[in-house]
Structure 1
Amino acid sequence: MAEIYNAIFNTHLDLGLDKRTAKIREEESLLREVCQDNPDHFNLIQQAVKVVKTKSLLRRKRGLYDDIEQVLDNYLREKEAA
């Protein structure tokens, strides 16, 4: 988006998205490395982090623990079914 704005208005607008994206990719890479022995743990942690981020964006923490518990329950059900 910043690239389009910069091209149209011939300016330099840096929204920090490149840095933020690079940091997210680095965190993801480290998490994959840590979860190398149990790849399904990577997905579990990603889902839990997604729940926390969603609740943070909504500025509403109500139900956070219930939502994380639901993610864990789903994970355990999938493990039992496999």
Structure 2
Amino acid sequence: MKLDKIPYAHTITILNNKNITEIHPYYSDYCKPAALAKTYEVQMVAMSNKEDWSVSKFVFEEIVLSPRYQRMPGRPRKRREKIQMKR
């Protein structure tokens, strides 16, 4: 099984070959409809003004630096050495 706990296609094929039609027990509980419904169970209310936001002091004091390196456009070069063949 994958990390997200949904069976691979070949796992489902094996279950079908063994005449197992109910594959839901092989899924993680997080992938079932009841878990999805619980995710959206809590109502979220949008805040009207920015003044209503409560931001901690350490967030304001944190300094975020830009990345040190800028990735160049295009495909990166290969770093391997080509072997010279003798004739």
TM-score (normalised: structure 2)? 0.29
Richer in helix (by share): 1
TM-score (normalised: structure 1)? 0.30
